[in-house]
Copies of this chain bind each other. A is one copy, B any other.
């Protein structure tokens, strides 16, 4: 593999000139440029990005830290990040943290040794101060981290209110809120939205904590439904748990939406695959990922950010788990 010195020799110029030519930095005469271009073609020269990184202390890698790529929310996100990264010449490194702060720190640590250019982080497991003394650009996605960090998130609270009202308007009197894990930003916000929607009404409510896993949601909901047969509505904090709830309802021979109405959150592709399809509060997951990626790359390249905190709007999508008409 040819290196820059070979090219310089072939073109009859110095390495400095070749480097300037490659980076379009500084002055390079037309004749030199032509000779260099020829030499590059002839030698099929490709600059070593590793060597470049060594002197610039910069790579074009960005790290994407997710709790678990296996959770249906994250592949769509990862896809968006990768697409955008590609167009800007970056490549993305995938990290599953399992929500484990140590794993997360381990990644941040070792990837910094590789001069990674920045991180998109979708976990709340670390406190803000962990990030503060990092010199490396970070944007937080879907998890609010207080402080100056750029952040993109959804209108979780607003969405939860809309979703809960949707249930109320369709006649639900006894509603379970299947809230996500405590301390996880969006889960807390969605719960807050639910509570706001429900206060000052006569709706009976029950709040149950439940991880974002299908089988645990199914189990928990089945138990709750058996415990209280009057339940006629479930607001789930994610589509996966909504799907679990739906499965539980079917197991108990409840008709959805006649006996029980369910609404999810996320609009993950799963939500159209169940029967009936899940009514859900749709997040524009792809857009979230794309916006985050662009923000990160701008930060890396020292371009100004118009906004440091972006909220992506949310939208109710009605499918089959809620009644088509208001009551």
Distance, CA A298 to CA B215, complexed state (A): 36
0/1 string, A44-55, CB within 8 A of B gives 1: 001111110110
Query: Is there a chain B Cβ closer than 8 Å to A176's Cβ?
Result: no
Are B59 and A82 in contact (CB-based, < 8 A)?
Answer: no
Q: Which of B70, B92, B110, B270 contacts A273 (CB 8 A)?
A: B270
0/1 string, A90-121, CB within 8 A of B gives 1: 01111110000000000001111111000000
Q: How far in angstroms is the closest Cβ of chain B from A242?
A: 10
Query: Is there a chain B Cβ closer than 8 Å to A250's Cβ?
Result: yes
Number of contact residues on A: which range applies? Answer: 35 or more
- Set of chain B residues within 8 Å of A275, measured between Cβ atoms: 246-247, 250, 274-275
**Copies of this chain, count:** 2
Are A91 and B111 in contact (CB-based, < 8 A)?
Answer: yes
Query: Is there a chain B Cβ closer than 8 Å to A68's Cβ?
Result: yes
A213 (CB) vs chain B CBs: closest residue? B269
Distance, CA A273 to CA B61, complexed state (A): 36
Distance, CA A113 to CA B52, complexed state (A): 11
Instruction: Knowing A113-B47, A273-B273 are in contact, say whether A69-B69 is a contact too (CB < 8 A).
Output: yes
Are B95 and A91 in contact (CB-based, < 8 A)?
Answer: yes
Binds B, one of A72-80, A145-153, A177-185, A228-236: A72-80
Q: Which of B54, B59, B82 contacts A96 (CB 8 A)?
A: B82
Q: Which residues of A contact B (CB under 8 A)?
A: 46-51, 53-54, 59, 61, 64, 68-70, 72, 74-76, 78-79, 82-83, 91-96, 109-115, 214-215, 240, 243-244, 246-247, 250, 269-270, 272-275
Q: Can you pick out 28 interface pairs between chain A and chain B where the beta carbons lie within 8 Å of each other?
A: A46-B109, A46-B112, A47-B113, A49-B114, A50-B50, A50-B54, A50-B59, A50-B115, A51-B54, A54-B54, A59-B114, A61-B93, A64-B94, A68-B79, A69-B79, A69-B82, A72-B72, A72-B75, A78-B94, A82-B94, A82-B96, A91-B111, A92-B93, A93-B93, A214-B269, A244-B273, A247-B273, A273-B273
